[in-house]
Chains A and B, each alone.
Chain A
């Protein structure tokens, strides 16, 4: 490759990366600005005073949205919902996937195909009756309602099963002959060998539920139960919605944990997407 071509490729990538990242930088800058400083003719990517141009960062926007804006309690809700939901879902899915992959019983493969077919129904079709079911179970507008109706995923069962199938059976077979039980084999042999797929499923599931707006929107009324995306949407819909310095502080709170997760687990996330082609 000629140097000229190489340079032009890098220039193009820098420009595209800027389009991708500048909105986040602007979000950050706005979130640290004093209210009046955001209204400038030429947008400034640093929190500076609109008249003097001197550095003028503040945390008062965060103070406001965490307290009055309700994002503090929403952050806590999001954390505990994810802390319960993600591991519980992983466990339920992994147990089922193991049985589907390894334990023969009559009708197993038919059952699996039926469950897979259920994946084709769009979530929006299920939304209204799911709310009805959640009400009937007495979980509407409660913490359980945020967790239980999301606590398993056919897609994740499918992914885990495919991975379990790819593990050579000899080890498990030897353990069975030695008299080990199914659960022992599952915990001691299968799970330790499945770390890559467990990581992918855990991370995508965290990202999905941390970011999810629709289910919390329809299942909660009580502001105490609002998750972070929902509280942010409510803030946008409130009279504060026009105050971009508050809204950007709220958006930063929603985005930052996810960026940290992406930075730590980028290799696994990107690999997982290349393998499965999934959204969330």
Chain B
């Protein structure tokens, strides 16, 4: 993502060019207009972004629910979350689930996106149609995705088990077997790899044809060309997709909420909490157990974790990507 630099601007001031010579009245009126234009967005920013961000930090140091006043407890929420496995028995479980999901879903998504992009880039006729079909899962509401995949994974009548049956693979109870929950969720994420595919495709179009031709003349086969030319040239794209993909995967929520909602019981995060992702855990504490202070602390632990992971990726992956 390259954005034009922030400083390079074409300001337009009333009167002849050169702001200094403008009449002060006109200039002041202009400032007023600018503030009026920005006012609604600025009000939104202050009320729904800045204030919530700061107050989330404050509340993370308090014992608070939506019905009572917050009382200051210092670091207790943080230490309890990290060390008190009686009060928060599933905290570390949810961390583990989320890490597993991230480590599985991000590579799977990127490989699938890369394969799709390479195939699309190799054809001319029909490429728009295929691109559209492959993109379809992305624009689908996560509530619908969850609903559809619950039915696809149905152990008795689901399409997935029937499809596996064609290859002689026995059907599984995907969403009710703890070891299979994460792979099943990661597969859904892979099914929705269309955004990464589009971005890879844009990256592929940006590789000059002359480089590929030179490689062909030098006698490089398709496999060599991919590993020696295409893949290295796409490294910045891959880096971007890994960073944004990890950030998104660490926050997965809506899909698991829908997948595991249901049939009489409340949301639990799947069999033996095998699908209890970090944000689902956070949501349950905030809106089921009414522990807003603890939920805010969880959200800051996540924020810090995301920042550390992102910084590490910049440190260790960026150098290779450059």
Is B59 close to A, CB under 8 A? yes
Is B239 close to A, CB under 8 A? no
Closest-CB distance, A119 to chain B (whole angstroms): 8
Q: Is the CB of A23 within 8 A of B149?
A: yes
Q: Is the CB of A169 within 8 A of B123?
A: no
Rounded to whole angstroms, the CA-CA distance of A244 and B261 in the bound complex is: 14
Provided the pairs A102-B10, A122-B306, A277-B240 are in contact, do residues A39 and B56 lie with their beta carbons within 8 angstroms? Answer: no
Contact with B along A241-252 (1 / 0, CB 8 A): 110100110110
Closest-CB distance, A50 to chain B (whole angstroms): 11
B128-166 contacts to A (CB < 8 Å): 128, 130-137, 139-144, 146-152, 154, 156-159, 162
Q: Tell me if A's interface is mostly helix, strand, loop or mixed.
A: helix
Q: Is the CB of B119 within 8 A of A16?
A: yes
Q: Is the CB of A233 within 8 A of B152?
A: no
Question: Which among A27, A95, A261, A274 is the interface contact of B40 at CB below 8 angstroms?
Answer: A95
Q: Is the CB of A255 within 8 A of B144?
A: yes
Provided the pairs A124-B251, A124-B282 are in contact, do residues A262 and B136 lie with their beta carbons within 8 angstroms? Answer: yes
Provided the pairs A17-B130, A125-B302 are in contact, do residues A154 and B45 lie with their beta carbons within 8 angstroms? Answer: yes
Provided the pairs A10-B123, A236-B262 are in contact, do residues A24 and B136 lie with their beta carbons within 8 angstroms? Answer: yes
Q: Name the residue in A6, A38, A92 with the highest tally of chain B Cβ atoms < 10 Å from its Cβ.
A: A92
Contact size range, A: 35 or more
Stretch at the interface among A54-62, A79-87, A191-199, A224-232: A224-232
Q: Which residue of A lies closest to B196 (CB)?
A: A277
Rounded to whole angstroms, the CA-CA distance of A190 and B49 in the bound complex is: 28
Rounded to whole angstroms, the CA-CA distance of A73 and B33 in the bound complex is: 41
Closest-CB distance, A45 to chain B (whole angstroms): 9
* Number of B residues with CB within 8 Å of any CB on chain A: 106
Is A4 close to B, CB under 8 A? no
**Chain B hits for A279, CB < 8 A:** 195, 248
Is A32 close to B, CB under 8 A? no
**Chain A hits for B133, CB < 8 A:** 17, 20-21
Is B61 close to A, CB under 8 A? no
**Chain B hits for A106, CB < 8 A:** 31
Q: Which residue of B lies closest to A97 (CB)?
A: B41
Stretch at the interface among B88-96, B223-231, B292-300, B313-321: B292-300
Q: Which residue of A lies closest to B55 (CB)?
A: A129
**Chain A hits for B263, CB < 8 A:** 237, 239, 241-242
Q: Which residue of B lies closest to A266 (CB)?
A: B132
Q: Name the residue in A13, A38, A230 with the highest tally of chain B Cβ atoms < 10 Å from its Cβ.
A: A13
Provided the pairs A16-B119, A118-B45, A236-B262 are in contact, do residues A211 and B14 lie with their beta carbons within 8 angstroms? Answer: no
**Chain B hits for A251, CB < 8 A:** 143-144, 147-148
Is A68 close to B, CB under 8 A? no
Question: Which among A96, A125, A248 is the interface contact of B148 at CB below 8 angstroms?
Answer: A248
Residues of chain A touching chain B, judged by Cβ–Cβ distance below 8 Å, are 1, 6, 9-10, 12-13, 16-17, 19-24, 26-27, 30, 38-40, 42-43, 92-93, 95-96, 98-106, 108-109, 111-113, 115, 118, 121-133, 135, 137, 149, 151-152, 154, 157-158, 162, 165-166, 168-169, 172-173, 176-177, 182-183, 207, 210-211, 213-214, 217-218, 228-230, 232-233, 236-239, 241-242, 244, 247-248, 250-251, 254-255, 258-259, 261-263, 266, 269-270, 273-274, 276-277, 279
Complex A-B: 27 CB contacts under 8 Å: A95-B41, A104-B11, A104-B34, A105-B35, A106-B31, A121-B49, A122-B302, A124-B251, A128-B296, A129-B52, A131-B66, A133-B48, A152-B44, A162-B4, A177-B15, A211-B139, A213-B143, A213-B254, A228-B143, A233-B146, A236-B258, A251-B143, A262-B132, A266-B135, A270-B135, A274-B201, A277-B244
